[in-house]
Amino acid sequence: MTYTISEIAKTLKIKEVNNPESPISHLLSDSREVFNPGETLFFALKTANNDGHKYVDELYNLGVRHFVVQTIHPEWKNLKDINLLHVKDSLLALQKVATFHREHFDIPVIAITGSNGKTIVKEWIYQMLGSEKNITRSPRSYNSQLGVPLSVWQLNENTELGLFEAGISMPNEMTRLQKIIQPTIGVFTNIGDAHQENFKNLKQKCLEKLELFVNCDVIICEEGNKLLDECMEATCLSQKSFTWSYNNRSNSPLLILKVEKLEAKSFITYSFLGLPFTVELPFTDDASVENVTSSIAAALYLTTSIKTIQEKVKQLEPVAMRLDVRRGKNNNIIVNDTYNSDINSLKIALSFLGQQSAEDSPKRTLILSDILQSGFSDEALYKSVSDLADSASIGRIIGIGHHISDQQKLFANIPHIFFDSTEDFISSGIWNEFHEETILLKGSRHFEFERISELIEQKNHETVLDINLDAILHNFKFHRSRMNPDTKIICMVKADAYGSGSEEVAKILQYHKCDYFAVAIAEEGVVLRKAGIKTPIIVLNPEVSGFNQLFESYLEPEVYNFRILDAFIKEAQRRGISDFPIHIKMDTGMHRLGFAEEDIPLLLERLRSQQALKVKSTFSHLAASESWAFDDFTTQQISLFKKLASALQDGLDYPIWRHILNSAGIERFPEEQMDMVRLGISLYGISASGLDGLRNVCTLKTTILQIKHLKKGETVGYGRRGDLDHDASIATIRIGYADGLSRQFGNRNGHVLVNGHLVPIIGNICMDLSMIEITGLDIKEGDEVILFGDELSVIDQAKKINTIPYEVLTSVSSRVRRIYFRE
């Protein structure tokens, strides 16, 4: 839907605007995702990590003319035709505009909250009802104070049912979301400890969540949860409840009578208002049984027939909670998103695609299936798709399906080719021609795009290192929020980003305005430049033989002695270069690399006698900042560094930056952040000092190849080191020391996690395989095995073999497939 800027201004109690009839159809909070700038209203949000006001000039140059701001910079008033809607709180203004939009709809709206399962229940309700109703739903898990208003704004003239998630992490948040969503139907999935840290207890959090349902006609929830029942009673919502229960003596209208689990599916028998029926669910876990029951209850309340429910439940598809990034053949990068196929999720996926490829790269390819059940005419729908693709600098679009093929005339501005089916695309062989492209696979499950992914993905064995890019961003922003606004962050991406993959990590951090990267050697920097990284890069251990790479790729070297300094000056002068940036390393006690205090006079003499190089920063490295026992030594290092940095600064006629804090220093000595800090292991979720608030980034996992049942007295593995003093079940897993699993973990020194069970590694670790004991446990061939991750800390694993997490992470072999994802 489209409103005039004057209508929106009136909502925000702003009396006068320029060009009052200007249309507004898009709300924007991220300056990097401009689409149709002439109809965009940008909300300049101030957060702990950023300030949207910094991007007003940039957006104006892109054609945006309408802005909601908390402060007005004087120079903006000279911009022609600009509208600056001045408010006290830009986020609250966004929420008011979404509320204004919501009030134009008199339709059923389902709101879902709870500690777990919100996104799955939302998607399964959509899968059950989407063919019968035109549904507008939250993209992915847009359930926050920012995500909810952006989701509700997607309601349009064709919407027959709204379906939105709502999540909170702080008290008093849900009341604001209730006003935006204004649900008529509530679904409460469950109550648990997720995001509990800001609440006094579970009861407080439960009561807060129930604020979402104060004006609902009905609340769908489980009966028999003591805490929920108590809170429903306290808020006078019990009389509105439509409950389901496992207790067949309950008065709930929907009862679970029996659950029969087979190998790959479950049969659930229900009683609804006394009438029995059975559904076949293509999942067997308890959480899926609970989630599908909430979904069925919602469908029943909306008078969906039992027959339709039975048909749809049998066809339910897993909800992929993330966007995957994988290496493809021929140096391609594959962004795999078959989570849902609608215009809103396409916007999100295209934005992510842009983060994974070089800016304005001509080799961005979109492979897109028909978008089903959009509620729009095909012409209007695919015109929007074409505009989005054009805005995202897509170099080629490949459409699959009859509907998109019939509208190919709309894609005249983009190189394109269309196929009626996935089979036709595969048979064409065009996928063999993909080379050095960033490819977005975006299709509904019906089109089986996993077949395309299998063809173009680089083949590796089943041992995988999952890298959570959202966790990387969380850790980056977490530390950014603890910095002074002007302090720059250098993100360490040496050693292939501590084993996580330097290109992918650098791309996401560059997109989110990281100030600097640091690598160990020039070759690492060259790789990043070739991947499209334009952010400044420091090379910490430059070599004379690598000077050409430094100059050609504009990599800024650390200079730590006179040999390197003199050689670099000579080479820069030979090339006719001036003011090339360098970073001077001082030795304050680490005694590894760096100039000593007595070197300063000669260092200044050399620097002042030439114009080829210019000192960008000076820095030192703390030897033991993670240890309280050495705080006196750390303090001495910092004091000495300040003295040396001041001497260097006094001897130069231009300003230089100073930095000494590594990850542990950032955590323990934030008052010494100076001009820059160097964020290393903490970026990857491992606190050097025990700081809370970081998220795990990497999960190393593999699978069980075979299970054997052995008798007491037999042995396992090379050297017969795995002695058995009892009958035992032994599983062979697909990982060995060639994958980076240290042999020190063998012979019961290390453990792995299988289906929630911590089990020992038995016998010697082999090159490609290892063995674990799983006696008495419900574990089968093909099950997933976790070597380290969220539930099995890499810190704890490192302690088992008397090493540090750095070594465990950087030891993961390059043959282990990396999969990057965003949730």
Residue numbers in the known binding site for substrate are 592, 767
Structure tokens that stand for 59 in this block: 């957006």
Catalytic-residue membership of 718: yes
Helix (H, G, I), strand (E, B) or coil at 772: strand
Phi (first) and psi of residue 219, to 5 degrees: -125, 120
Written as one string, the DSSP assignment of 535-584 is S-EEESS--GGGHHHHHHTT-EEEE-SHHHHHHHHHHHHHTT--SEEEEE
User: What value does the CA radius of gyration of the chain take, rounded to a whole number of Å?
Assistant: 29
Written as one string, the DSSP assignment of 49-81 is S-BGGGGHHHHHHTT--EEEESS--GGGGGSTT
Structure tokens that stand for 562 in this block: 């006179």
CA distances to 140, 494, 543, 586 from 547, in Å: 47, 18, 7, 21
Rounded-to-integer distance, Cα 166 and Cα 396, Å: 37
Q: Which helix (H) or strand (E) holds 754?
A: strand 751-754
Rounded-to-integer distance, Cα 505 and Cα 508, Å: 6
Written as one string, the DSSP assignment of 368-410 is EEPPPS-SS-HHHHHHHHHHHHHHTT-SEEEEESHHHHHTGGG
Query: What contacts 640, CB < 8 A, 6 or more positions away?
Result: 588, 589, 597, 620
Cβ proximity of 97 and 11 under 8 Å:
yes
- Which residue from 472, 438, 468, 465 is spatially nearest to 356, judged by alpha carbons? 438
Catalytic-residue membership of 301: no
Is residue 690 classed exposed, middle or buried when 0-12, 13-18 and 19+ CB atoms within 10 A define those classes? exposed
Rounded-to-integer distance, Cα 456 and Cα 609, Å: 56
Sign of the four-CA dihedral 764, 765, 766, 770:
positive
Please state whether beta strands 698-710 and 464-468 pair in parallel, antiparallel, or not at all (unpaired). Answer: antiparallel
Neighbours of 304 (CB within 10 A): 18
CA distances to 497, 570, 725 from 593, in Å: 22, 21, 53
Query: What contacts 788, CB < 8 A, 6 or more positions away?
Result: 698, 699, 700, 794, 797, 808
Among 54, 718, 780, 799, the active-site one is 718
Q: How far is CA 441 from the centre of its chain?
A: 18
Helix (H, G, I), strand (E, B) or coil at 188: strand
Annotated binding site: 592, 767
Phi (first) and psi of residue 586, to 5 degrees: -110, 140
Rounded-to-integer distance, Cα 98 and Cα 191, Å: 28
Query: What contacts 733, CB < 8 A, 6 or more positions away?
Result: 702, 703, 704, 705, 752, 769, 770, 771, 772, 785
Match 């996401």 to its residue by tokens. 508
Cβ proximity of 418 and 398 under 8 Å:
yes
Cβ proximity of 141 and 118 under 8 Å:
yes
Structure tokens that stand for 96 in this block: 């008011």
Structure tokens that stand for 620 in this block: 């030192």
Among 494, 507, 585, 701, the active-site one is 494
Cβ proximity of 71 and 422 under 8 Å:
no
Q: Which long-range contacts (CB under 8 A, 24 or more apart) does 171-176 make?
A: 171/198, 171/199, 171/204, 171/208, 172/208, 173/145, 173/208, 174/113, 174/208, 174/209, 174/211, 174/212, 175/211, 176/95, 176/145
Q: Which helix (H) or strand (E) holds 795?
A: helix 794-800
Query: What contacts 716, CB < 8 A, 6 or more positions away?
Result: 710, 722, 724, 730, 762, 763, 771
> Active-site residues: which are they?
494, 718
